Structure 1
Amino acid sequence: MQRRTVNRTLRFPDRPHPRRAGENRRWEGVKRAAVRLADVAAQAQVSLATASRVLNSQGGYTGRPALRERVLAAAAELGYEPNFHAQALASATSTTIGLVLHDIRDAYFALMAGAIVRTAEAHGLFVTIVCTYRDPSQELKYVKLLRAQRPRAIIMAGSGFINRSAFEPIETELTRFEETGGVVVSVVGDRGVGHRIVLENESGSRELAHTLADLGHTRFAVATGPARLTTARDRLKGFRLGLQDRGLELPKGSVHHVDMTREGGLRLAELIAAQPERPTCVFAAFDVVAAGLIAGLQQNGVDVPGEVSVAGFGDIPLAAQITPALSTVSVPLELIGQQAVELAMVEDSSIRRSISIDGTVVMRASTAPVPARVAAHDG
């Protein structure tokens, strides 16, 4: 008996080809993976941090309902799927704030850091402090390390760098941190990442120049920090403009870039004391340098303020404790620290906050009217 072979093709019109179905699933996966959190934020017209909080908070978002609805609608339209692993990492350390500053030994930063720690503790938060000693490579390293720890916020406290290329890698890291829901607070003038607290260095030193010029001084010198730092640049610029407002100019060679330490002031004092025609007033862009100047001038037999007046910037506790007490621009460092933490706790970051802080001129015993004999000579 012969067997006949019958070739039959079974068709299932409603069932996709298995291989093609797999390909479709893979392509759909690629499309979903291509949708980033940044795409959702742009579609909803909110910040990256707000989009992250809405999508990664698992119902814990406490911001404006309208923003939440916009983000959810954008995510649904784009087919965005959240990264649950990143959510788990983020929620594990949400009670921590990272604080990046130059040097905790500097009284200026110590006051600010103390206020940040106290304010954070009052809100049940903990602060991790790292010091960079004004080294951009160290700053980049520590920002990366803090990102890995997944803090709630990173506060950048200290002078910016005039060379933008030095800060661009740091800015990139901070932006990535924001993309995963972190908050960035910058207590520096030139950095555009996150919320900003801007100390008006230029206007403060400009007002101080007016006050000192009104005492009759016409021969000035300035002790400022490294030229690469924005704080040093802005305080010098403001002081120069203030003198120009009074019809005065800083003579050539009268601007000294020194170490931002007491020792930097001591070394400059030796140079000034040896000059045949000294300035009648020296502005130090940092109080600690001014303290060194006063001590150094006195050690070299120069009376302060009888022969040379000295003024600073910052109003650290030392300013009122030395003899003679230092005239300076007072900066509300504790207020800055408190506001930095408050910005770090803002849930709705769709709008970047910017707070301007003004300094106040405080005149003490280290400055006096120019002696009559000197005024007559200069006149």
Structure 2
Amino acid sequence: MSRRKAPGEPGRTTIRDVARRAGVSVASVSRVLSGTYPVSDELRRKVLTVVRELDYVTNAHASSLAGGGTPTVAVLINDITGAAFTHVAKGVESAASLRGWLTLVGTTGDDPERELALLRLMRRQGVAAVILLGGAYDHDAYQLRMARFARSLDAAGSHLVLVGRPPLEGEVPATTVDYDNEGGAYAMASHVLSAGHRRVLVLPGHAELTTAQGRLRGARRAFETYGVPFDPGLVRHGYYDYEHGYGAVEESLRQRETFTAVLAGTDVVAAGAARALRAAGLRVPEDVSVVGYDDIPLAGQLTPQLTTVHVPYEEMGRAALRAVADRRQGGGRRRGGDAAHLVLGTHVVVRQSVGPPGAGGDHVRAPSVT
């Protein structure tokens, strides 16, 4: 096996070297690395194998530096431990590394002031784009703040990309990469209702969070479609964490609420809900069905495996980076065919956590926690 050429050596690895080793054209290598053209899985695998063997990405970094600096994107996330949006960050980083770009990650702690400070810092650093991940509290102050951020970054030659957040109103230089949040919740609630459940405990998330609002709208719309009365008294708002799932179910059982299924706003919330049911001596799904949202790896690791809504988080990250790259290639302007608001699809992943209601149907009352 030939050794890798060290960066800076005469005859340093080029895209032509990659094409020659892979036995494909330079154009094919370019298509694979840009990620903006459809290519076969076999071609992608062949090219990326050679890229790794020749350390081409590292050399691409050096070439970019010699040309005036490596493009850098900043990913800002509320909580870096949040399981779902870490996959978006992974998608951004993988797409950036293929182009020889760098990725910075910062956390805002859901603090508008820290978000503002980080955006200002990234603007001074001259990043190619700032990518904001996660839901938001969509009100007038938020719209005004984001519009100001977008225009400030645009004036500095950068760009704002919102991922999993609502699009900005009016003519604002920002790109939104979203997913069919409400549609996913509608499909999941429909799945639960089609199994025969009528009394469903709904844990959509924080009441003011746009993500939670969309998931609650989707669930209510499914109830309307099925002609089933929706009981607002079975809605429990809270954070997207394990503790909320556990506490909401525990409290509902203590209050002797009647329900045969739990519609959780995230897989992590669903895990907490399932644990609270087991602590009360109830089985999933024999006594109470539980579903989640996100389809993070945890969903397949629970017992029973969790039925949930798949969100293409990594693809959202890759799409966000592609939008930035396309903009730079177009001189900072969107090409005619580019959209400022991209929405990716969601779908239900059926596993083992949903069954029919107990023998008593809607009249089964879950026992209280003592």
TM-score tier after normalising by the smaller chain length: 0.7 to 0.9
Moved more, 316-325 or 269-278: 269-278
Among 274, 279, 286, the residue aligned to 2:259: 279
**Structure 1 counterpart of 2:150, from 166, 174, 190:** 174
Q: Which of the numbers 228, 231, 245 marks the counterpart of 1:265?
A: 245
Q: Return the letter of the residue paired with 1:270.
A: E
Q: Which moved more, 1:166-175 or 1:149-158?
A: 166-175
With normalisation by structure 2, the TM-score equals 0.74
Does structure 1 retain, via aligned residues, the 8 Å contact 2:287–2:358? yes
Name the aligned partner's letter for residue 151 of structure 2: T
Q: CA RMSD in A?
A: 1.9
**1:374 matched to 2:361:** yes
Q: CA deviation at 1:141?
A: 2.0
Q: What residue number does 1:350 align with?
A: 334
Task: Report the CA distance between 1:183 and its aligned residue.
Answer: 2.2
1:300 CA drift (Å)? 1.9
Change (3 A) 1:245 1:372: same
Which 10-residue stretch deviates more, 309-318 or 92-101?
92-101
**Paired residue secondary structure (1:169):** helix
- From 131, 145, 169, give the equivalent of 1:155: 131
AA aligned opposite 1:190? P
Provide the rounded CA distance (Å) in 1 between the counterparts of 2:280 and 2:359: 23
Question: Could you tell me how far apart the structure 2 residues matched to 1:183 and 1:118 are?
Answer: 19
User: What SS is found at the alignment partner of 1:369?
Assistant: coil
* Structure 2 gap ranges (5+): 1-66, 366-370
Identity %: 31
Is 1:100 the counterpart of 2:84? The answer is no
Work out whether residues 70 and 100 of structure 2, in 8 Å CA contact, stay in contact via their aligned partners in 1.
Answer: no
Aligned counterparts of 1:302 and 1:275: Cα–Cα separation in 2: 16
Structure 1 SS opposite 2:360: helix
Q: Are 2:271 and 1:294 equivalent residues in the alignment? A: no
Distance 2:258 2:117 in 1: 44
What secondary structure is seen at the aligned counterpart in 2 of 1:155? strand
Aligned length: 288
Aligned position for 1:11: none
Cα deviation, residue 160, structure 1: 2.2
Structure 1 residue 372: Cα displacement = 2.9
Task: Give the Cα separation in 1 of the matches to 2:143 and 2:115.
Answer: 9
Deviations 1:157-182 (A, max 9, x none): 11122222134223202211112321
1:241 to 203, 212, 221: 221
User: Is contact 1:103-1:133 (8 Å) kept?
Assistant: yes
TM-superposed CA distance for 1:196, in Å, is: 1.6
Give the stretch that moved more between structures: 185-194 or 254-263: 185-194
Aligned residue for 1:37? none
Structure 1 segment 1-379 matched on structure 2, within 5 A: 95-192=71-168, 193=172, 194-346=174-326, 347-348=329-330, 349-351=333-335, 352-375=339-362
For 1:162 and 1:197, how far apart are their aligned partners in 2? 16
The answer on whether the counterparts of 1:163 and 1:228 sit within 8 Å (CA) in structure 2 is no
Q: Secondary structure at the match of 1:256?
A: coil
Partners in 2 of 1:255 and 1:376 — Cα distance?
19
SS in 1 for 2:232: coil
Q: Could you list the per-position Cα deviations for residues 48-70 of structure 1 after superposition, in whole angstroms to 9, with x for gaps in the alignment?
A: xxxxxxxxxxxxxxxxxxxxxxx
Inter-partner Cα distance in structure 2 for 1:160 and 1:311: 23
Asked whether the 8 Å contact 2:358–2:364 carries over to 1, the reply is no
Secondary structure, counterpart of 1:372 in structure 2: coil
Kindly indicate whether the alpha-carbon contact (under 8 Å) linking 1:140 and 1:170 is maintained by their aligned counterparts in 2: no
TM-superposition CA deviations, 1:3-46 (whole Å, max 9, x none): xxxxxxxxxxxxxxxxxxxxxxxxxxxxxxxxxxxxxxxxxxxx
Could you tell me how far apart the structure 2 residues matched to 1:157 and 1:99 are?
7
Aligned partner letter, 1:361: V
User: What residue identity is the alignment partner of 2:128?
Assistant: R
Is the 1:95–1:152 contact (alpha carbons within 8 Å) kept by the matching residues of 2? yes
Secondary structure of the structure 1 residue equivalent to 2:233: coil
SS at match of 1:329: strand
What do the CA deviations read for 1:184-233 (whole angstroms, capped 9, x no partner)? 22113423251221211001101111111110000011112222210011
SS at match of 2:342: strand
